[in-house]
Amino acid sequence: MTNVKLEESVWKSAYNCWLQYSDIKDHSRVQEYKKVCSNLVILDQSAIIDSAKEELEKGLFSMLGETPTISYEPQKKASIVLATYDQRTIKEYGVDYEDCNILNDDGYMIQSFDYQGDKAVLLLGKTDKGILYAAFHLLRLIQMSKDINNLTIFENPKNQIRMINHWDNMLGDIERGYSGNSIFYDQNEFTHDVDRIKDYARYLSSVGINSLSINNVNVHQVESKLITKELLPHVAEIADIFRSYGINTYLSVNYASPIEIGDLNTADPLDSEVQAWWSEKVAEIYEYIPDFGGFIVKADSEHRPGPFTYGRNHADGANLLGRALEPFGGIVFWRCFVYDCLQDWRDRKTDRAKAAYDHFKQLDGEFLDNVILQIKNGPMDFQVREPVSPLFGSLKQTNQVLEFQVAQEYTGQQKDLCFLVPQWKEVLDFDTYSEGKGSTVKSIVNGSKYPFQYSGITAVSNIGNDLNWTGNTLAQANFYGYGRLIWDTELSAEEISDEWVRLTFGHDEHVVEEVNQMLLNSWQIYENYTSPLGVGWMINPGHHYGPNIEGYEYSKWGTYHFSDCLGTGVNRTVKNGTGYSGQYYPENAEIYESLETCPDELLLFFHHVPYTHRLKSGETVIQHIYNTHFLGVEQVENMKARWEQLKDKIDTYRYENVLDRFTMQLENAIEWRDRINTYFYRHSGIPDEKKRTIY
């Protein structure tokens, strides 16, 4: 019996991510919480509030050992009170309505107060979604062992749209998935494991995610049928689950659907029959899902169909769908990841980095109000280091969202540890200078800089049906960190990391300190042993894991980096390169254009330089490459050793899971070090100053 309980406990610790709700060992703290948490008073009703109630019951019982009593009328005793802003009954609790005017639709207030000698906590939402977010916030405070008797918290999410994009295929596989198979589909059918989907909705809502697309942007033939009567009832069942957690459901669609699943021979956006087909199809979708969010579209990129076939532009294509969705309040996310993957890379003036700007800058202001351009954080493709996309700040009349990738496609694939929150912080804090100093990316995508109707942040999901959801237990930190950061972009990477570690592993200070350091240093460590100085792309084609310096699938003639016997890097200057640096506002363009001012970490992204060029650190480029690749391996060895010291403090499953990943990471780091250093030694003929072995 003991072994059965142990196995169940280990299973739950892996599965429950940061919602562990572990029993609290501090007896005095338990008694303090029980005085407040023994009663729930619920002054409004909805499916979302029911979810908040259920979560509070689950969490409080697990942590305190008692299930709270439930009341639906004001009670003159200690309690947790759930109410919406428009409930007049909350006057009993002394709420100042003027204070509540600062709340937006997803915002909430958590207020402690004395009620006739008893302590109580009010969870007040502008809407029922605010109540749910407040409930998760309170449970997080209790998990963190914080005082809840003196709370005055006002929270509004910084971003209106807080979204996750799934790249799941109905066969059950996931494009760029590193955590098992889809939780939605299996063998071209919908899954029957609705309990797992509900738990996923809980995790999303706990970090404030409010939008979700459930299929791959590369829409194959079978996924095209998701918008047909055959499959819409199943989509509606999933949408019902997410709706009860405040999450709107979206679908990725095939631009050529009128041909693929209709009876038309064209998908021309200006064709009247095509327009009528989409209008009828959208109306049908809303019969099944009245609050359907809308569509995600990848068009005219990487062999996906789009309006270019008919001599039309992206605004023509996006507006076609926007008009069909507009009567129902639906919106279109039109991805800006557009480039010609068949172009001749031998031409050093050809530059994939320029493509998105070249395609979309000229169309600013031509998109409908319910069309949103979805822009990747960098101009290329989620590399470990690249500059911020120049589209941010250049589009002043077009709704837009920033796209991150939580899935670690080019950053270790959840085998290698790479905590991405520090990278995302750099992107959000980047100053575009579009309206002078202070025109940061975060101020653009949160809608405060320009009067967009829709704005926010989206990202590619990193979850699958593995027991621990993310393959590597430590990769849960990226999932959690993404949600927390886009809710509040002012949170530091250190705050987010510390929250996740304590919620996931508890409060042993040795564990907290060690895991925090691993997470916070991991992005730099990964960069050290992979592609140097912003050059990128030195990776195996197809699966994108491990080094292949000249093997990338779109550079068969040898280069995304133009290395030769004299030097390395891509000349993207206006003076004599591709001209990419000129896509930025002058303040940034001048920095990137000049060798003297270009940041070292992006040097090879913007400049082709001799191997003997000295960085601002004083190192030559070639010596920097040698040093960082040797250092990166040493750092991975150190992380693995530090994790091994935690063996007796972490349950067996999670300990072995992470240890196994560190073993794979070390093998990967060694291969990167040896192949990169050998490649550049043979190209440059310059030996390592420290006389280390390079084959």
Q: Could you give the residue numbers annotated as active site?
A: 302, 381, 409
- What is the CB-side half-sphere exposure of residue 181 using CA atoms within 13 A? 13
Residues 6+ apart with CB under 8 A from 338: 299, 300, 301, 314, 355, 356, 359, 360
Task: Please give the radius of gyration of the chain, using alpha carbons only, rounded to the nearest integer.
Answer: 26
At 57, list the tokens.
Answer: 């019951």
- Return phi, psi of residue 579, to 5°: 90, 5
The angle subtended at Cα 451 by Cα 450 and Cα 453, nearest 5°, is: 130
Q: How would DSSP label each residue in 54-123?
A: HHHHHHHHHHHS-PPEEESS--SSSEEEEEETT-GGGGGGT--HHHHTT--TT-EEEEEEEETTEEEEEE
Centroid of chain to Cα 603: 27
Residues 6+ apart with CB under 8 A from 431: 437, 438, 439, 440, 587, 588
**What's the maximum distance between 2 C-alpha atoms anywhere in the chain?**
82
Looking up tokens 């400049």 gives: 607
Q: How far apart are CA 355 and CA 353, in angstroms?
A: 6
420, 459 Cβ separation under 8 angstroms: no
Q: How would DSSP label each residue in 373-421?
A: EEEESSSSSS-SS-PPPTTTTT-SSS-EEEEEE-S-TTTTTTTS----H
Q: How far apart are CA 198 and CA 186, in angstroms?
A: 17
Of 577, 593, 583, give the one whose Cα is nearest residue 362. Answer: 583
Q: How far apart are CA 507 and CA 503, in angstroms?
A: 8
Q: How far apart are CA 404 and CA 401, in angstroms?
A: 10
Q: How far apart are CA 372 and CA 295, in angstroms?
A: 10
| DSSP structure class, residue 592 | H
